[in-house]
Structure 1
């Protein structure tokens, strides 16, 4: 049954691909047929794995038909079709508040765990491969980036405490040991540490931001560029406030984009290990941002905090001149990286928000009036605050979690109807062919 469903999904993706235009875009941009209305959005399943934000599941990662999630000290592999737990394994520690997802790369799951730990698991078997324990420890809130046989991540101890950014070889040197302890290939120690400071790799270099090392003062912090192999510092630039978002690199313009808690969006050109200081631009967003900029067709999409814990905003910004095109009011602060879906020459923005009920909002960027509407609202008992990105599978299903402890799968019901109609057509043909040959065989006495 699973094989049939997977085959259907693959064939549907092929059909959709022919129907869609080619998309050139930044991270978190898809051209799958995601649901675009409440009528299309159908709750495929909701799986409860935790009771509060302390043991809530991590944001789900979709890989090869499965969701990979951490909750408590357990790593789960879940069937993305029905929400059934396929395998589970014990981790050496818990994730830090379950804000940060695992990273999947080349058949390996990399888990960011508390007390400065990274643990690697085989995707197929969920057997532990190795473990890294950082000397300075800290919360593992920074997403792990894997490139050319190395894993990169940072840790955070406190606003004014030191913590490390590390490079770890992903090679499993001792295959007989499940908890082989790794040593970092290189480390960089920084006062204030690294909080949600997910790096970006371009060429031979890795780029990541940092906290400013002060308590709520919005002082100068830095964005660093290192040789990703040797750990040699190649360049750095000074910015204002804690840099607590991922960094996005636009290959078309060779520009880096990132935001800070001080409320600024920055852009700067980058080439061959050097920042072009003369090209550095910044825009006041009107509120803090820990949202990784998503870029598509010359526009930046980023979440911005509103007043206190009230409503937040989705800002749509011209990527060239950093001018705000739209400021869309949201139910809460969108602290995650948004997801973009381009369908029939229309761009739809999907985002969660850090407020109850903890659902999904959608913004049709091509509409005459650009505004956010509810795509999915969880039922009572499934509502809570939410800092979760949205994963998308090839069949257009959206996956996310909130602090209620539930993982949600929101499918496009029209995709299933189209798939069923597609296969019903071919079944009719096969039945007609079978009937034809049956009548011939009957006629000739076979």
Structure 2
């Protein structure tokens, strides 16, 4: 991926697969140059259930993105979600080495490694070790202690784990497309990099990413991630409820949800009529939009945000989230989501959309976007669909930038070493 400094991410979801390609510019910013989407047919609730179908879906999305960007990918960052994901907060402590007691990168790496000393059940592996805070000689709430003086260095990290089998199947699917995997990234962590501001993360904010098969939750405070959870319910459940409640095929249920759905029945004309295609040759019939929204959609969406509220309480953050809630993902496009979520959670709610994708969506405006069961058009209004994909390239850009800084640091150490040797020879001879 060295050519043109390309970084790419693949959001492999229950409903869609989305490939985003970006080019790293001289100002270290990632400029999106390609998007490719395809229906996802091999996953259920974020977990691979059919590798062949998953590979086919990934391949279609990758080819579309490569054609738009005019590049051929070698490796990608891959988003992961699903009910197999779990997390825990873990502390660690080390003594600062060195005669001058100045904290080095090595000390920081050692204390983070110390937080990994936890009991992990068989069949699970660590995906992320995310620093929450550092403590130097009892001084708390330090974001990054490099260069500080101290004797005792403590850290608390947020450790995310997942099923080895589920992760291996995801990686295997990408490999079968002929791509390497640069890293596995928790989807809500990726999405946060696309839709949350630094000030929101500092104040305290809840990110709710409503996908097709799962709803991902991440709570941020003091600039760091403090809690994550994956709920096995999402937009597909709304579609299934419509299909069952109206006795209509799934593809028609998805179309009805997109065109006429609303999470808050108070916002619509309840008497408005819509046509519903019946199953098994049944004739098209007319129903009220009020029945669709009030009796079918709103109860399911209310349930989803009831579960979100339970997770916020479980995490211990009731009443201490000043920046409110940011809802993103394909499920956030349903009309009335902000109003219902705000009422249910008792917090301000906004829809999170990547701010650097609008120019590309303008280019794609009018193009048909296939979401598997139904279709919509690209526009700035549905940019939230791409939050995780855009976040993956931001994550990748940060990784490459940090690696570059680290490499430069190591080069400087080598340079300093040989400078000392040269000075020693000059002084001796």
**Where on the TM-score scale, by shorter chain, does this alignment land: which range?**
under 0.3
Give 1 or 2: higher helix fraction. 2
Give 1 or 2: higher strand fraction. 1
What TM-score do the two structures reach when normalised by structure 1?
Answer: 0.26
Higher relative contact order (CA 8 A, sep 6+): 2
What TM-score do the two structures reach when normalised by structure 2?
Answer: 0.27
